[in-house]
Amino acid sequence: MEGKEYTISEIVDSFGITKHTWLIFIMLSLAQVFDGYDFMIVNSTNLFVAHTFWPDNPNPGALMGSLTTWGLLGMVIGGAAGGVLSDKFGRKKILILAVVFYGLFTLPQAFSEDLMHFAIFRMIAGLGVGSCIPIVYTYLSETMLSTRRGFFITCAGAFMVGGWVIAGLVANPICNSTAQLLPGLTEQVTYVTADGSTATMYANWRLCYLIGGLPVLYGIFLAFKMRETPHWYANAGRREEAVKALADIERLSVGTTTEYDPKLLVVPPRPQKNSPSILFSKKFIVGTAAVWTCCFVGQFCVYGMNSWLPAWFTGIGYSASDSVTLQTLNNVGAIIANCIIGYVSDTLGRKRGLIISWILCIVAIVVCSLFVAPGNFALCVGLMVLFGFALNFAISAIYPLMPEQYPTAIRNTGTAWCNAFARFGGSASSIVLGGIAGMSIFQTAAGTTNWSLVVLTLIIPFALGLLCTLLFVRDTYGKSMEDLTGDTLDASDTGIVPFALILIIIVLLFALCIVCPLAVANWSKLPVALPLMAIGLVLPFVFFFIFAGPQAIRMKREGK
């Protein structure tokens, strides 16, 4: 490279897909498996946890939904903090810290005797999970071949869904076992069933959370095997370490090393400030609008329905075991989607892939609401695979877009804050859908929840996702990270005003869709409940239409 300027992406792309590519992919994908297990184990055990915490209440409603919410709230805080820390201290250090952290704090959940104890440690563990996920996507975006970036990022997401499936496969036999699997911990519980009779079980669900401590060991493994990305070194002004990291990649990729001159390394300009408010400056607000709105919709629907799928199927007559099996098969469909959408996104482009995904979701929602029925397990299997495929096809199509919106200095801040905001959608959804399910208009003549009708309401957020994709998303497929950064950075535009407004909107969303349903008795029965929750969910979209809409139209006119 003597006498010739070069970029990190140019060098990495020149190697193609190599042994190093697969090593990084597998290492980070395993981290996603543990992440997925930690999240989904709550949804796979919530029926049994509810029987333990509220044995006299056969339908705890929003309280049962909140079992998922506490972890998601921790993920919101952890993602927001972890993004900033990762951009400041490096991808490697914060990822390892996050993995060890959530492993350690999952263990105490196994000993919970009530919701308070469970919620505290669930939220603390969520801090680590929320930090981990965006770092994986950011790290992959900075190390993968530009033309195959989408494929590797979404396939890593498939491993996270694989963790969801593992959670179901682990939880189903453990929780449904009629034997006491660990005397002294898994006590016998007598609870009231939906028909008013009583039944007994062992609290074997506690073992699932002991297994959730395994990430501690994997974090130690990462500490010895993982390297920092050249992009982060270069952005931090550590050019010598950046070129050394490039040489290490070359050695692992092709077996040779080249002497790279640090002085000739082209490093894109970075914002004068790297606080989260810069995400709402005129330069970045359209990209922020694209990923925040679409990711919010995706997580609202995916996490909300995963929380309530077991309740849906037990409500129409399937056993608890069959219900968890159907939820697990829903996640098998999600894995297939994750593996396919990356290829679609790298072939048709990011925007077209997203448009296809939202349309597919609407079709799947209608089909499942019409044909899911009792007494036809085989049909439900097919419908749940379709359901999981469609919903995760959409949310996974967003993952490559997130790190592609921002320069290295704020890349993980942008990715993490997007994930954190979307977690509010996931946090609220399990409670909001539980509240909707309890409303009289969604009840059958027999007094049970008509889940098929509840599911149809998801058409509204999917239509919003389609609208936001058409307005805000720009295609970033195949471009190097340096090309995506650009060179026009206005130091005077910090985005502080719209940032302050979105924080206020997030507080309102939290209050109306999470606090009120949990704190106000019979919230879902109040006439104002549904309108207020709808306002809380729609306000972020109104904000982006007002602040990012005109800028998006202007950029399209200018051909950007």
The mean pLDDT values, 10 residues at a time, for the chain of 560 residues are 78 88 92 89 85 80 70 83 87 93 92 88 90 89 86 87 86 88 87 81 91 92 91 89 90 84 82 80 92 92 78 81 82 85 87 92 90 87 90 87 86 87 79 76 77 86 94 82 63 82 92 83 79 90 95 81
Could you tell me the CATH number of the domain that includes residue 173? 1.20.1250.20
Asked whether 258 and 247 are in contact (CB, 8 A), the reply is: yes
Is 268 part of a structural domain of the chain? Answer: no
- Residue 419, token pair as written in the block: 């994930």
Is residue 272 in a domain?
Answer: no
- On whether residue 299 sits in a domain, the answer given is yes
pTM of the predicted model as reported, rounded to 2 decimal places: 0.78
What are the residue ranges of helices labelled H in 107-204? 115-143, 149-175
Token couple for 77? 């805080």
Positive or negative torsion for Cα 170, 174, 176, 177: positive
Domain limits for position 444: 8-257+288-483+498-553
Q: What pLDDT is recorded for position 560?
A: 64
Q: How far is CA 175 from the centre of its chain?
A: 26
DSSP state of 177: -
Rounded to the nearest 5°, which phi and psi values hold at 6?
Answer: -150, 160
**Residue 95 falls inside a structural domain:** yes
- Rounded to whole angstroms, the Cα distance separating 106 from 441 reads 38
pLDDT of residue 194: 72
Closest CA to 270 of 216, 223, 228, 234: 234
pLDDT value of residue 287: 92
- Cβ neighbours of residue 240 closer than 8 Å, sequence gap 6 or more: 262
CA-CA distance, 314 to 316, in Å (whole number)?
5
The pLDDT of residue 391: 87
Distance CA 189, CA 42 (A): 18
Taking a C-beta distance cutoff of 8 angstroms, is the pair 393, 341 a contact?
yes
pLDDT at 492: 65
360 in a domain, yes or no?
yes
Rg of the chain on CA atoms, in Å: 23
State the alpha helices, DSSP H only, in 238-319.
239-254, 285-315
Which residue do the tokens 């201290």 mark? Answer: 89
Cα 42 vs. chain centroid, distance in angstroms? 15
Note whether residue 301 is domain-resident: yes
Q: How many domains does the chain have?
A: 1
Largest CA distance in the chain: 82
Indicate if the alpha-carbon torsion angle 467, 497, 282, 412 is positive or negative: negative
In a domain, 489, yes or no: no
Domain-embedded: residue 282: no
Residue 119 has what pLDDT?
87
